Structure 1
């Protein structure tokens, strides 16, 4: 079982990449997002791998992070979602976008992925609502913060930090997500200046 590949890029195609590991080239099928973030031929690359073994084939799927690989596995627990559909979703939505869509039961966002019809999108947001991995908790925290901001009941330092980040050109959604992550690091009893500093670090990732 292959769990990770570390080597150099031999070639990048439309839906896969060839990774040269000490003279052996592995074909790894990836989401469009992962492929776009890889370097050029000859550059070093690291991919987290999901290995599929069937009677007539052995196929490797590559991911930029363990987080993306976990979503790939989770998506396929939904009826009607196979590897191809899961990659299509991950090509269109980041793990954070996907977690947000599920938290909000936003099937329209999921349906933006090629080949995803309304029925499959509905199944994804419904069946995964209580199955999302631990990292989706962050999305839930961000959702709660956005609701507080919308209702005007967010703490002053939090509202000030979000306002400052939006004044710097970030969207309100990006700013709220960054501040939610900052609060998780610094705790709720923190001033706006520190929230802004930590929020900017999150946005720079």
Structure 2
């Protein structure tokens, strides 16, 4: 099983990318949000991989920039009627933290904004995700007729670093891309100041 790929980003297409790892090109299916945050072709990229078997096309790799994204994907695809394409669509409109909040307030309409997810499937997703863990947060079930209040998750290194760059006047899309690249270089356990410095270096390239 392939759990992670690190190599040169060779190509980016509408629904997948190609990563060259020591001369072997891996085709990795990705959601739009992931593809938009990838580095430029020719740069190094690291993707967390979920390796699934498709009855029609055989094995297929699905790639994510964070472990939480991959965990949310595997949780979603464990729900009856939610295939990989629908799971990627949900994560395109609701990143893990936002999906957690939508489930906690039973916001079926937010989930139904995803392409290919109708009201019935959105209801099933919200119902089945209650009480399930997703990264550092969990889907908390609420009593009938009572909407659960979701405690805000602790600030993430990514969020704090992006906020710092926004405070310096950097556009959000550039800030997020620079921080993502900094974390790829330094690892997800790097401290905030190091991530900010590395992100500024990325912006200066």
How high is the TM-score relative to the length of structure 1? 0.68
Match of 2:125 in 1: 124
- Cα distance in structure 1, aligned partners of 2:16 and 2:140: 30
- Classify the secondary structure of the residue corresponding to 2:102: helix
- Classify the secondary structure of the residue corresponding to 1:49: strand
Match of 1:2 in 2: 2
Structure with more of its chain in helix, by fraction: 1
- Cα distance in structure 2, aligned partners of 1:14 and 1:34: 11
Match of 1:155 in 2: none
Cα deviation 1:6-29 (Å, max 9, x = unaligned): 001100000000000011100000
- Classify the secondary structure of the residue corresponding to 2:41: coil
Cα deviation 1:65-99 (Å, max 9, x = unaligned): 11000000001121110111001111111111100
- 1:1-205 equivalences under 5 Å are 1-54=1-54, 57-133=58-134, 135-137=136-138, 143-144=149-150, 177=152, 181=154, 203-204=163-164
When the two structures are aligned, how many residues end up with a matched partner? 156
- Classify the secondary structure of the residue corresponding to 1:181: coil
- Larger Rg, first or second structure (1 or 2): 1
Structure 1: gaps of 5 or more residues: 146-176, 183-198
Shift of 1:42: 0.1
- Cα distance in structure 2, aligned partners of 1:95 and 1:70: 9
How high is the TM-score relative to the length of structure 2? 0.68
Structure 2: gaps of 5 or more residues: 142-147, 165-178, 180-205
